[in-house]
Structure 1
Amino acid sequence: MSPSARAALPQAFFLPGDNGQRFCLYHPPQGSSPQGRVLYLHPFAEELNSTRRVVAQQARALAKAGYGVLQIDLLGCGDSSGEFADATWAAWLHDAQQARHWLLEQGGGPLWLWGMRAGALLAVQLAQQPQEGGDPTHLLLWQPVASGQQQLQQFLRLQAASQWLGNASSGQTPAQALALGESVHIAGYTLSANLARGLGDARLTPPTAGPAGRLVWLEVSSTQPPQLPPASAKPLAAWSGAGWRVQAQAVNGPAFWQTVGTDDAPALIAATLAALTDIPPP
């Protein structure tokens, strides 16, 4: 294998963090002229596993186009330290901050925060904290959830009322148990009240600090032609009104975050590459 081929291989490492280490995978930029840096923030619970295939395809495509891409497994997720029950929204935001700091020390070019589903909420909160030097942060959001509360409700619906683990005898629903500060067990995950509270408070609102950058908002659709859902109109208008350069698009593709990780989404990958490499004028 040639030195150039070896340099293009993803680099796996552990980033020190609070309560253990975080597994990271870095795809170094290929070519002689790096185009920028991308930090990927993954979705919630089992959606992380369901989306790994498509995300890996996109990360490789971005690296080939000259972008350095860093993927991180947050506290209690994937191959990182801790259990899901240990996770809090504040801890995940701290992990994202540490990953951004590491990535900013690698190469040059604009910084993109790439969030999938609930990871989009985390990316938006991280963008609220401006970069050193005042450079704008750009956002790439895949299938963003409207709010953390929506994501939480979707997750709680995974378990039928008769199957609430640890709550059936008291007659409590998971939402009631969380409100009382208790943890609930759903679909193999232990969700703490602390994490549920932080997730539930998260919103897709434009940052109020730092310069506005670009927002690329991409969703998959089964309709012909593909169309963004009507619910996207209001948040997109808010971002545009806050001075962000908004590019929103729907492409045909499967709801791959809901499957076992065997789907492909070539139109989404192509749209992402086009959006990041064909930058429109200010």
Structure 2
Amino acid sequence: MNSAAIDALPLLPFFLPASGGQRYCLLHLPPPGRSARGGILYVHPFTEELNKSRHVAAAQARAFASSGYSVLQIDLFGCGDSSGDFGEARWDIWHNDLHLAGAWLAQRVDGPLTVWGLRLGALLALDFASRAPLPLARLLLWQPELDGRRSIDRFLRLRLATSMLARSTREAPGQARATLAKGEAVEVAGYLLAPELALAIDGVSAAALLPAVPVYWLNYQAPEQTCAPVPPLARQWREHGAAVHVASFGDGPFWHSGELLACPQLLDATGKLCHDWLGEERTRP
């Protein structure tokens, strides 16, 4: 299917009723007259990375739709155009959002359900898959965050860096962590991070989550890297019997780039890595 035809695929924006308000959703549909071969639920990344990556996720969703899949993008509670403020967001609420969205999609699509996550959304997808009551066929991970505490520490460093540039009050290293430990929220780059959310993310590690379904994992490979190493955790999962497929892309870290990157290499690498289910699809296990 050519790019013009892909861009013209049906797209349904809607609000999904949920606890605490509504969740904004985009449903990418297969070509008219073609039944969906399965459903794909997209889990977006954290804070500003959501905005930086929307265009790439939408391009991939259209590509999946052109292959016959219904793809549901949902803004989690407190994120994007959904109800709530980010300071009210909680990890368990996000789990509930994914369950609600996955159940909504499963009721409307007769086929296997795939969960696809980017960055912290990939870690959330892994955590969700480990306790999801819905039958899942596979996980697709784009540049996954593997340790929640390191992810929060990296996020808090943005606050420290901003403080160091300020002419007035400068924050000491570790002060934000101390504030969270006292049960108080901290503001980072315009986002109010609640201690409940930070603590919950701190406690999630991909190393403690052995996937029960096949995993398709894509990592960014910098130009100076001569070959793409298999992530140590992927090797660990394989040793414990998990089916893990790994590939790389070289477009750049689009999730925090100062400019919008089109990422054709990522889309191409995803299509090649997932060829076994983007081709002839089996029925839901």
TM tier, smaller: 0.7 to 0.9
Distance 1:207 1:158 in 2: 28
Task: Tell me, yes or no, if structure 1 residue 16 matches structure 2 residue 3.
Answer: no
Distance 1:71 1:199 in 2: 22
Equivalent of 2:205 in 203, 206, 213: 203
Compared with structure 1, are the counterparts of its residues 258 and 242 closer, same or farther at alpha carbon in structure 2 (3 Å cutoff)? same
Moved more, 51-60 or 168-177: 168-177
Compared with structure 1, are the counterparts of its residues 244 and 55 closer, same or farther at alpha carbon in structure 2 (3 Å cutoff)? same
RMSD: 2.9
Aligned match of 1:238: 236
How far does residue 32 in structure 1 lie from its aligned partner after superposition?
2.7
Equivalent of 1:83 in 85, 98, 108: 85
Compared with structure 1, are the counterparts of its residues 158 and 227 closer, same or farther at alpha carbon in structure 2 (3 Å cutoff)? farther
Aligned match of 1:215: 215
Task: Tell me, yes or no, if structure 1 residue 45 matches structure 2 residue 47.
Answer: yes
Aligned match of 1:153: 153
**SS of residue matched to 2:42:** strand
Letter in 2 for 1:121: L
**SS of residue matched to 2:158:** coil
Work out the percentage of aligned pairs sharing the same amino acid: 39
Residues 41 and 71 in structure 1, CA contact (< 8 A), matched pair in contact too? yes
Distance 1:253 1:262 in 2: 11
Letter in 1 for 2:191: Y
Q: How does 1:67-82 map to 2 (within 5 A)?
A: 67-82=69-84
Compared with structure 1, are the counterparts of its residues 47 and 5 closer, same or farther at alpha carbon in structure 2 (3 Å cutoff)? closer
**SS of residue matched to 2:201:** helix
Q: How does 1:121-160 map to 2 (within 5 A)?
A: 121-132=123-134, 135-160=135-160
Q: Which runs of 5+ in 2 are unaligned?
A: none
Moved more, 153-162 or 94-103: 153-162
Give me the TM-score of the superposition, normalised by structure 1. 0.86
Distance 1:243 1:176 in 2: 40
How far does residue 170 in structure 1 lie from its aligned partner after superposition?
9.1
Give me the TM-score of the superposition, normalised by structure 2. 0.85
Task: Tell me, yes or no, if structure 1 residue 252 matches structure 2 residue 250.
Answer: yes
Residues 226 and 250 in structure 1, CA contact (< 8 A), matched pair in contact too? no
Task: Tell me, yes or no, if structure 1 residue 180 matches structure 2 residue 182.
Answer: yes
Aligned match of 1:189: 191
How far does residue 225 in structure 1 lie from its aligned partner after superposition?
5.8
Letter in 2 for 1:196: A
Deviations 1:33-77 (A, max 9, x none): 533211000000000000011111101111011111000001110
